[in-house]
Structure 1
Amino acid sequence: IGPVLAVPGIAEAVRARREHTVAVSPIIAGRALKGPADRLLRELGHDASVVGVARLYAPVASALVIDEADAARAAEVDAAGLRAVVAPTVMHGPAEAAALARAVLAAGGIEVAP
């Protein structure tokens, strides 16, 4: 998120919409599902966990969708300044992708029928 927020005007625009912004954690049970997110978080001095992600996104998002595997850490996410939303985040197909999209939209206050 850092490089995106470094673009002039973007950080201010995103912060202005914080209450309507929902992030999805790329970390599940302390590891990135895919890619280098866990390594990059550690290299930038953050904890490679949903709590580390919450601390990073707290200035720009009001909710963080975390995987069911991290449900026990929901209170820590809340304490970091984001409302934790627990949902399955691993998508193996269209049904899981649609369910995650509905969870993200609901976290942002938009209800979508199944």
Structure 2
Amino acid sequence: MEASFEGFTEEQKEEYKRCARLVHQAFLRAEPISGGFRLYLNAGRPSTDAPVSQVDGRTDFLLTKQDLQSFARLEMKACPFLTLTPAEKQETLILDMVESPEAQGFLQSHLKSYGYL
């Protein structure tokens, strides 16, 4: 099983890349849940275009609830064998990622490759 971006518009591809980058930057920890994993992510300010810091010429942005919802929607479009459920708890965003039985091992493999596990 692999992600497929076939049928994505250029705007959707760019939005996915932007949101995925924010999710990766906001990663705090992952834990196993039934059928998948729960990611804990650092929540940001309401404005998706508000820079947090500039380090070595790179500007970092904070992940918002709207960014996470957009990421979940686009990730499920690219990976219909995944169910992503975003939530918010105080200053932390949570993303439950559950794989279908035929995709068993997909999440663990990818999360390991990102250094999350």
From the two aligned structures, give the one with the greater strand fraction.
2
Q: Which has the higher contact order (CA 8 A, sep 6+)?
A: 2
TM-score, normalised relative to structure 1: 0.26
From the two aligned structures, give the one with the greater helix fraction.
1
TM-score, normalised relative to structure 2: 0.26
